[in-house]
């Protein structure tokens, strides 16, 4: 089974080779998570950006803004990458459309790939500041990936509540499937073991 994506924002050939093959999954995963996030955001329409599922929930637009701003903070403050000035991060205008947010997300992510690929073992295992504690850089990186997945799920739920299409991220959805898709939804499927 291979995932079927309608959009490819960072092509596999654009993902640099890691200095250490053992760490290739870091670079590949980051590119993949950006592709998944951009694909989901591409489903949004202008009229959905101010939707909030509950009065205490963030609006969809706030989630997109937070994603872009918090990625910059994670990579600049905690990972130690050179990042663009904060004032240049968000799309221009008072109410940019979803495509403008997708464009910024991808444009900001692509330059991070080469420095992530260049890291050696010492780089990734070094302890760096993370809010009020210190953690290994690789730990902080995976927290970023999880943070992105969390906010992507929020947007996916908003799309579902708006009765709109939710694209696949890690497997088929109620809206998108393909021949060979084999989600684990039964006890028999969960019992399978590799050979």
**Residue 5 located in a structural domain:** no
The pLDDT mean for the chain works out to 93
Is residue 58, in this structure, part of any structural domain at all? yes
Q: What is the pLDDT of residues 45-72, one digit of tens each?
A: 999 999 999 999 999 999 999 999 999 9
Indicate if the pLDDT at residue 3 is higher than 60: no
Is it the case that residue 119 has pLDDT exceeding 90?
yes
Domain interval for residue 53: 12-191
Q: Is residue 183 part of a domain?
A: yes
> 163 lies in a domain?
yes
- pLDDT digits over 163-193, tens only? 988 888 877 777 777 777 787 888 888 888 8
Tokens of 66: 């937070």
Adjacent-strand bridge partners of 128 = 135
- Of 138 and 4, more confident: 138
pLDDT tens-digit series, residues 82-97: 999 999 999 999 999 9
Whether 175 contacts 165, CB under 8 Å: yes
* Cβ pair 152, 173 in contact under 8 A: no
Q: What is the DSSP letter of 115?
A: H
pLDDT in tens, 14-29: 999 999 999 999 999 9
Judge whether residue 4 has pLDDT over 90.
no
Its pTM stands at 0.91
Terminal Cα-to-Cα distance of the chain (whole angstroms):
17
**115 within domain boundaries:** yes
- Does residue 106 sit within a domain? yes
Q: What is the pLDDT of residue 1?
A: 40
Q: In this structure, are residues 98 and 136 in contact, taking their beta carbons and an 8 Å threshold?
A: no
pLDDT at 189: 82
Residue 10 Cα distances to 20, 60, 100, 188, angstroms:
21, 23, 16, 36
Phi, psi of 44 (to 5 degrees): -70, 155
| Number of domains observed in the structure of the chain | 1
Using the CB atoms, write b or e for 82-99: b if 16+ within 10 Å. ebeeeeebebeeeebebe
Phi/psi for 134 (5° steps) reads -120, 140
Give yes or no for a contact between 27 and 16, defined as CB atoms under 8 angstroms apart. yes
What CATH number does the domain containing 157 carry?
A: 1.20.120.450
The answer to whether residue 48 is domain-embedded is yes
- Evaluate whether 19 touches 50 at the Cβ level (below 8 Å): no
Please check whether residue 6 lies inside any domain of the structure.
Answer: no
Question: Which of 3-12, 35-44, 51-60, 99-108 bottoms out in mean pLDDT, i.e. has the lowest?
Answer: 3-12
């Amino acid at each position: 089974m291979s995932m079927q994506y309608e959009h490819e924002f960072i092509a596999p050939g654009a993902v640099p080779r890691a200095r250490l093959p053992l760490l290739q999954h870091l670079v590949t995963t980051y590119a993949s998570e950006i592709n998944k996030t951009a694909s989901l955001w591409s489903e949004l329409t202008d009229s959905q950006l101010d939707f909030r599922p509950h009065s205490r929930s963030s609006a969809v637009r706030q989630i997109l803004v937070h994603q872009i701003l918090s990625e910059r903070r994670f990579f600049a403050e905690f990972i130690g990458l050179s990042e663009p000035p904060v004032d240049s991060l968000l799309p221009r205008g008072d109410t940019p459309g979803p495509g403008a947010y997708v464009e910024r997300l991808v444009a900001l992510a692509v330059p991070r790939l080469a420095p992530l690929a260049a890291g050696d073992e010492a780089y990734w295992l070094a302890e760096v500041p993370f809010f009020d504690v210190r953690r290994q850089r690789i730990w902080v990186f995976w927290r970023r990936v999880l943070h992105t997945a969390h906010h992507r799920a929020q947007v996916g739920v908003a799309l579902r509540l708006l009765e709109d299409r939710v694209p696949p991220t890690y497997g088929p959805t109620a809206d998108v499937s393909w021949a060979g898709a084999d989600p684990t939804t039964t006890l028999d499927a969960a019992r399978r073991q590799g050979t």
